[in-house]
Structure 1
């Protein structure tokens, strides 16, 4: 067990958990001289369980810090912090949702007036280490910055006061968000503070600073989406849906009929659950409804007419929820009798698919834009946009699951 500068673990009261609300989001990313060497103690190397109610990210981060020698951690070469007040993020969520409804095929990215703090940092490498770094840079695509880019920059210790001032002046509570942060960024930050003797009065991170690993946030939210879909599909009566669709096809061939023609089909039925829209009448599906049509365009363009997703209450879904479920068509399997079922095996494989939750992959799918990854500031912006795309679900998750930064 290594000597550390970790704070004593704090206990949170039920009242603290209930009324805690993040007021500022700080999206953080680092570029470094490499990966963590001999990282044998990482509990998340294998696939973590999506939706795990017993996962303790603070405990995991503490254990990784106390079991990893500082010499095994890389040096920071670039660090970026993009700060956004809660109100700004909430406004951007509404703007992106509207943009998605108006044009599901266009770019989803929205402009935010964020404060940005980005610095390249000169790592303390000797001549031999610089040669090794440059050789590694030729073969590792993720390492972008050259020796020439970094040699005349300030050290981490010289740049840290500026970062600290940024964190101190943010409205509290502050939530620092990093993708795969528990496995990497939060550990690397601790190592730099330790190496440079910055765990001293006046140099410590302020109180009321929380951390959140967005990787866990996204897999947990999507697991919740899968669970809702499973419940909704189990409660749907596809015989009614099929009958309505058949009637529509007949009307298209012979001309429209009065809407009451299928009214008796749904009479005296139990009201549908919250996650499931009522079985559509002929009138609903044949009449022109511009706003509703815009909201469902993403589903209609990519799914079979009787796909279960077409009959769920999706008007309040975030753009990310719609896009991720629509692209995962393997989750819904049609049975021989024409009914549908939710495929649990496909759901499990979804979370294990290589690259499914990589920042660049998610950004390109959700934003309809290319992303030039491995520059810290660009990655911060990408993470910000993806988080906004998950809407209020992300905000609520951050409020409920952010943990006090333990150092």
Structure 2
């Protein structure tokens, strides 16, 4: 029987995984600069956590979650997003009692959603995200957005734009909700069944519908920004002011609502503007979620965060015709010509690695020419050649691949010589 990778997933082979490592390195360094610390949560959680926080009318909960019953007859779900698990951990581990607030966290790992596979969108995908929990300062909203923008900037993307909206507080959203119900009710029969069920439960979700996005009522739907109360409007102005202060450009989109129920106040997306990227342009999305910690049994702890697809970041780089520079894979490749030389080469290989030098050798008993070709493919900076003469003379032949020079080096001096050459 021939087994294949499950539909909607992918194998990331060594020819591509180094690019992921580049992105991961950028992320770790930036998070360290911003003082965000890594958190690692389980891949699966209680199903109710996502139903309660993400929203039981969202596509994620109703159509996309991978849910199973464990042997204890408990309903469990592979995490479809990262915020709910992080906030759950924040509450469970009483991080709200930490002396330094807000608690600034980042995560990176696989998420799971059962949806149709498209370019850069998989059923198992890798998401990087940050959460700043414990502060209602609009400046932290701007900081989170700045961190997301910095990831794309340092990765080399230029064709991106930030889209911004405010969802307001509960009072503002309730007023907007009533206006949406009045707007859509007379013609709700023209909408899909999902929108019809959302009319009373959560009419804001109608604006996020992929099926009816071209319906004329979508264009004339009441804008949430028109229903922001004085406090919500003032908060949004401060967020925009902080972004203006640090030179982060943005576009306002009153129809940006995001796909999860826990968002309020600031909502944002970062999109690719590259002509070769494709129809689905969103690279990253996030927003504020005051009240989420309370929803899962914790104290009031306002938060804001974002989730970013690594697959889509790499796809955006490809669309812009950009790529990372791949460093040489090896410092040294050892070529051996005899059995006794192979033994000596293996011992030297171990010594090189213990000295922090990236090294490898042939294990296929190939001729010298074939071994040298391997050294070229690995972009080895140096090659050590060992034959019977070198074994008998306690020396090796060291070839500098960049210069093309070669010299005989005593065994006791080889590591020192290579380190000097690598400098």
- Which TM-score tier does this pair reach, normalised by the shorter chain? under 0.3
More helix by share: 1
- Higher strand fraction: Structure 1 or Structure 2? 2
Larger Rg: 2
TM-score, normalised via structure 2 length: 0.23
Q: TM-score, normalised by structure 1?
A: 0.23
